[in-house]
Structure 1
Amino acid sequence: MIQVSTTINGDEHQFVCDPRETLLDVLRDRLGLTGAKEGCGTGDCGACTVEIGGRPVCSCLMLGAEAEGKEITTVEGIADGEDLHPLQVNFIKHAALQCGICTPGILVATKALLEENPNPTETEVRYWLAGNLCRCTGYDKIIRAVMETAAEMRENA
């Protein structure tokens, strides 16, 4: 077993994990952060995406022990207390979610995109989301929600 100290959603966490345990399993089973989902277990669907150091990462491909000293944001950390993040508001407004399996990973990935590039083109949004599979919505509503969020964030900056 390995002792790990990390920051998740702004809070310090310490946990003990098996050296073979994925970060996804640690988040869900040890820390109760169930927003990230296991869709494939191979890093192909993006349902387990978390943000580490400003970059989206498939938590099913990362070992829990690798979280040592890292700053991690999960979908649970996107909202500011009771206030939803503008992405979350626009996902609801545009009905950019259905079953919810992919939504946490897409929200984390698009938040990272908007932090890196607050003025993305539609092509850039689609490229950034290439690692996130959604079988329900099609993507058009997701793209509209992200583009509107980007415009609102630029307007309010």
Structure 2
Amino acid sequence: MFIAHLPSGYLLAKFLDHKIKKYNITRTTFFSLLMIGAVLPDIDLFYFYLIDHRSVHHHKYFLHWFSFWIPIFLISYLYWIYTQRKSKYAWMTLLLSSAGLLHICLDTFVGDVWLFAPFIDKAYVFFEVTPRFHPWWLNFIFHWSFFVEIIICLIALFIYLRDRKKG
């Protein structure tokens, strides 16, 4: 995924906002955490380009591992339940990690993701993007899956504009 991570975080926030009416953080913080979490795994791109010089696929870094996000999600969820849903920090970590997991799931659509890293060194992908164009990113833009990203972005934009009109 290239352009749909942030809009997907917004859509997750909108979905959860309707389901969860009572939380002990502001609505702005709620939306911010989910949207930041939806792009957070890609901060490894700074390391990928500036330090690693693209020597290792950035989806091999720990921020793109389920084995990183799932324990954070589970520990924060269990602590949140243990505190009878009163721990603000557990709730915030739960939101952030759920959006991080969403990111990894979306990356698996057409990007190689090492789902079981560091235990199994094997990339998984739902749909393969055939390399045909240079530069490399044109292969993703001209692939049918980019239309899915555009749809996600348009749905998020539609919901945002609709809700702004409501007041």
Is the shorter-chain TM-score for this pair beyond 0.5, marking a shared fold?
A: no
Q: Larger RCO: Structure 1 or Structure 2 (Cα < 8 Å, ≥ 6 residues apart)?
A: 2
Say which structure is richer in helix.
2
Structure index of larger Rg: 2
TM-score (norm 1): 0.24
TM-score, structure 2 as length reference: 0.23
